[in-house]
Structure 1
Amino acid sequence: MQVWRSVAEIPADLGGTVTTLGIFDGVHRGHQVVLAATAEEAEGAGLTSVAVTFDPHPVHVHRPADELPLISSLTDRVERLAATGIDAVLVLEYTLDLARNSPEDFARGYLVDALHSRVVVVGEDVRFGWGNAGDQHTMVALGHELGFAVRIVTDICDESGRRWSSTWVRELLAAGDVAGAAHVLGRSHRVRGVVVHGAKRGRALGYPTANLHADDLGVVPADGVYAGWLIRPEHAPEPGASKRLPAAISVGTNPTFDGVERTVEAYVLGRTDLDLYGEEVVVELVERLRPMVAFDGVPALLEQMADDVRRTADILEVPAPARPDVYAPPRA
Structure 2
Amino acid sequence: MSLRDPSKFLIADSLDTFPQELKGGIVAIGNFDGVHRGHRAVLGAALGLGHGTHHPVFAMSFEPHPRTVFNPAKPVSRLTPPEQKLGLLKVCGLDGALILPFTKEFAGIEANAFVQEILIDTLGISHAVTGYDFHFGRARQGTPDYLRNAGANHGFGVTIVQREEDEGAEVISSTRVRDSLRRGDIVQANALLGYRWFFEKSVQHGDKRGRDLGYPTANLNLGEDTPLQRGIYAVKVKTGGQWYDGVASYGRRPTFDNGATLFEVHLFDFNGDLYDATLRVHLVAYLRGEEKFDSVEALVTQMDTDSEEARAALASMQPLSDIDMKLLDLAP
Q: Same fold (TM over 0.5)?
A: yes
Summarize deviations over 1:19-54 as a string: whole Å, max 9, x none.
Answer: 111110000000011101111111243211010011
Question: TM-score w.r.t. structure 2 length?
Answer: 0.89
Check the 8 A contact 2:179/2:227 in 1, yes or no: no
CA gap 1:74/1:207 in 2 versus in 1, 3 angstroms: same
Question: Aligned partners of 1:289, 1:48: CA distance in 2, in Å?
Answer: 44
Paired-residue identity, %:
33
Determine the structure 1 residue equivalent to 2:159. Answer: 151
CA gap 1:317/1:13 in 2 versus in 1, 3 angstroms: closer
Residue identity matched to 1:274:
G
State the SS of the aligned residue for 2:297. helix
Gaps of 5+ in 2: 1-8, 317-332
Summarize deviations over 1:162-183 as a string: whole Å, max 9, x none.
Answer: 1110000011011011111000
**Are 1:114 and 2:122 counterparts?**
yes
Question: Aligned partners of 1:34, 1:197: CA distance in 2, in Å?
Answer: 42
Summarize deviations over 1:275-327 as a string: whole Å, max 9, x none.
Answer: 12122221111100111101110111111111111111111129xxxxxxxxx
Summarize deviations over 1:232-286 as a string: whole Å, max 9, x none.
Answer: 2xxx3xxxxx521111010000111132210001000132x32121222211111
Which of residues 289, 292, 310 is equivalent to 1:291?
Answer: 289
Residue identity matched to 1:225:
I
Check the 8 A contact 1:28/1:166 in 2, yes or no: yes
- Report how many residues are paired: 308
CA gap 1:108/1:14 in 2 versus in 1, 3 angstroms: same
Question: Aligned partners of 1:133, 1:247: CA distance in 2, in Å?
Answer: 48
Determine the structure 2 residue equivalent to 1:252. Answer: 251
Shift of 1:12: 3.3
- 190-199 vs 22-31, greater mean Cα deviation: 190-199
Check the 8 A contact 1:38/1:86 in 2, yes or no: no
Question: Aligned partners of 1:132, 1:283: CA distance in 2, in Å?
Answer: 37
Gaps of 5+ in 1: 237-241, 319-332
Question: Aligned partners of 1:274, 1:194: CA distance in 2, in Å?
Answer: 15
Residue identity matched to 2:70:
H
Determine the structure 2 residue equivalent to 1:228. Answer: 235
Question: Aligned partners of 2:118, 2:210: CA distance in 1, in Å?
Answer: 51
Shift of 1:69: 1.5
Check the 8 A contact 2:196/2:284 in 1, yes or no: yes
Question: TM-score w.r.t. structure 1 length?
Answer: 0.89
Please list, as runs of the form range in 1=range in 2, the aligned pairs for 1:24-35 lying within 5 A after superposition.
24-35=32-43
Which of residues 199, 210, 223 is equivalent to 1:202?
Answer: 210
Determine the structure 2 residue equivalent to 1:192. Answer: 200
**Aligned Cα root-mean-square deviation (Å):** 1.5
**Are 1:2 and 2:10 counterparts?**
yes
Which of residues 161, 170, 189 is equivalent to 1:181?
Answer: 189
